[in-house]
Amino acid sequence: MPNKKIFILLPDGIGLRNFAFSNFYKIGLDKNFEIKYWNNTPFDLTTLGFDEIKISEAKSNPLTDSYKNARKHIELNLSIKSEKDFVYDTYRFPFAYKKIRPALKNLVTKFLIATHSSSKGLEKIRKKIKKLESSTSYYNYCLEILQKEKPDFVFCTNQRPVLAIAPLLAAKKKGIPTATFIFSWDNLPKATMLVETDFYFVWSEHMKKELLHYYPYIRENQIFITGTPQFESHFDKDKLIQKEEFYKEHQLDLDKKYICYSGDDITTCPDDPQYLNDVAEAVRELNNQGNSLGIIFRRCPVDFSNRYDFVLEKNKDIIRSIVPLWQKIGDGWNTILPTQADNIAQVNTIYHTEMVVNLGSSMVFDYVSFQKLCAFLNYNVENRIDKNWSVSKIYNYIHFRSMPDKKAVIWLNSPNEIANKIKLALEQKNENVRSAQNWFKIINQDSPENASNRIWESIEAILSQRF
């Protein structure tokens, strides 16, 4: 096949880790693709030696936000109706009315939900979003870029952003095939699909079934199972550093073994500092019994709050914080960008710790990539900050139903059992690791280290019409 020009659309920073800080670019070059990043992030990809076109002043239609939010709520309403399962209500965010502009947008959204909560109504909303975004100067700019550059394919790294709609509609207008990557393992039940493309790249057969279930207008031959580049770096031994170097860099005690506590954002877990304190107390108990353990605390990369300060100071003899190396460009969570350095830091944190403790995150798959265990916190603390929040809400989410059996993680059901279960986990891990590996194979295509290669092979197949 002659060289084909591929546009990699980065509508926001979410896709940087998977598609800029991985081997994805190099693999594409090795397959003789001409690759150009269509970059709407603040990150300068030319510093990595990549060819890019910066998107400037991207702006959606003022009404699109209201229609986008209505689409999400209508999809959740339809899921409740068809499946008789009210878990979909937990994926909604409350409407805000404190400021005039958000209040007006939300009033429009609520009207649209009330008048369009049916399959036909949803179709009208989808068409309206396309019409609105096709009316913008941003859309016309995208047409001009595509006319000038003439790419053979546009690949969008994330299915969620509003600012991805106009470039993809412009590509459709120009007859250029498009695809989007489903970013995360929990995205589809949450009604986060906003873009509509010719093809969809998913993590697994499980995700393919979800895509067909929630979006019946998508046909099976539009879907390619590729896995995700998210875990590829875990299989790159060149990223690993020696224990002595890692311990020295982060001022760790060479006589201790460390477990990792992986933090959540404040919305997912408002009581996370208390959970960290409970784990620290359990480690202190184990050390009093003659063990030599410590905790590496890796906070959620988009959490810059001081909410952990008291716990970290109180337990500074046990907890060592390794702050994620993300860059804060703006105020929103989506303006906090990953870095290559953090990718290496995370890989080595996993490699040099014994296990991870957290509340329901995908770190279970990061750790099982190294044949290591994950423990899930599974109780409510006393004096909860938000009385409407409960741990049961988290584990009732749809994506946890993919777990083949409960042995895939260690369940910490109360503060009193943390110490004993950590001790047992460190001594007898094989059965749980096997179950976690089985779960990983459900969530992500087997041979996770080959995801980028499979994405490029899928693009090759589309362009040569071999599918």
CATH of domain 5-60+136-228+448-463: 3.40.50.2000
Question: Which among 447, 455, 454, 391 is positioned nearest to 180, based on CA atoms?
Answer: 455
Q: pLDDT for 401-418, tens place per residue?
A: 999 999 999 999 999 999
DSSP single-letter state for residue 380? P
Report DSSP letters for 338-369, one per residue: --HHHHHHHHHHHHTSSEEEESS-THHHHHHT
| Contact criterion met (CB below 8 Å) for 11 and 37 | no
- At residue 334, the pLDDT reads 56
Report DSSP letters for 393-409, one per residue: HHHTSGGGGG-SSGGGS
Would you say the CATH fold of 235-443 matches that of 5-60+136-228+448-463? yes
Token pair in block for residue 270: 């408002």
- At residue 467, the pLDDT reads 62
Average pLDDT rounded to a whole number, residues 102-112? 95
Can you name the CATH fold of 235-443? Rossmann fold (3.40.50)
| Contact criterion met (CB below 8 Å) for 233 and 343 | yes
- At residue 335, the pLDDT reads 64
Q: pLDDT for 323-355, tens place per residue?
A: 998 887 765 555 678 888 899 999 999 999 999
Fill in the amino acid letter for 321: S
Average pLDDT rounded to a whole number, residues 449-453? 98
- CA-to-CA distance for 17 and 406, rounded, in angstroms? 30
- At residue 337, the pLDDT reads 83
Report residue 23: phi and psi, to 5°: -90, 10
Give the pLDDT band of residue 1 (cuts 50, 70, 90). low
Domain ranges across the chain? 5-60+136-228+448-463, 64-132, 235-443
Give the pLDDT band of residue 431 (cuts 50, 70, 90). confident
Fill in the amino acid letter for 414: S
Q: Are strands 336-337 and 355-358 parallel, antiparallel or unpaired?
A: unpaired
* Position 243 pLDDT exceeds 60: yes
